Amino acid sequence: MPYHTLMACARPIQWRLLLGAVATLAVLYLGFAGLRILYPIGYLDLIRASADEYGLDLALVGSLVRAESRFRADAVSPRGAVGLMQIMPDTGAWIAARIGLAAYTPEQLFDPATNLRLGCWYLRHMLDRFPNLEQALWAYNAGATRVDEWLAAGQSPFPETSAYVRRVLRAVSIYRLYLRWSFLVRVTPSSPL
């Protein structure tokens, strides 16, 4: 078969391969964009700074922020917990005194950098106090005193606390994916639900 006939036959195959590759990339991009909607991420530099300061897993902190506030710095819970890591104002004052944050005011909990620093300190404190990650997350959610009571009585946590811990732990692998493929985080939109 002459060369020009072979090339004429090869062109449709090359176009199909190119279109297949473009379609595959488009599907992957849309899938990752959908993942970003379900698992938003923001304030990555601030999270990294606070996580590093207290020796925490960056993916764990991201997952916890998602569970607490869905990355909304202005979030306020029905019980009065504030900001990205949903810190109660009294707990914020207690933490601020421990880390030497002078002139603390509850309004500072709306500041992402302050909220993340206080929340990461508190998470580190819970991880140091309780023997495993699950119990530390129970304490972050329900309070250390309550977890001490559960452990002393051999009880399980509240169902909502158990669900919270599952939600945090399930999302850690997604945030690890984000950290591994950080370029995709920069090129896909994030719109929290």
pLDDT lower than 50: segments of the chain: 6, 193
Cα–Cα nearest to 81, from 105, 106, 62, 47? 106
pLDDT value for 159 = 96
Is 134 annotated in the active site? no
Any idea where the domains of the chain sit in the sequence?
A: 39-187
pLDDT value for 190 = 61
**Euclidean distance between CA atoms 151 and 156, whole angstroms:** 8
Host H or E run for residue 123: helix 112-129
Active-site annotation holder among 68, 107, 134, 149: 68
How confident is the model over 7-50, as pLDDT tens digits? 555 567 776 777 778 778 777 777 667 777 888 888 999 999 99
List beta partners, residue 76. Answer: 82
Cα–Cα nearest to 177, from 49, 68, 36? 36
Amino acid occupying residue 79? R
pLDDT value for 37 = 80
Long-range CB contacts for residues 139-144, cutoff 8 Å, separation at least 24? 140/64, 141/165
**Euclidean distance between CA atoms 135 and 129, whole angstroms:** 9
pLDDT value for 189 = 64
Q: Is 0.75 topped by the overall pTM?
A: yes
pLDDT value for 178 = 85
pLDDT value for 8 = 54
Cα–Cα nearest to 68, from 130, 118, 105? 118
* Assigned CATH for 39-187: 1.10.530.10
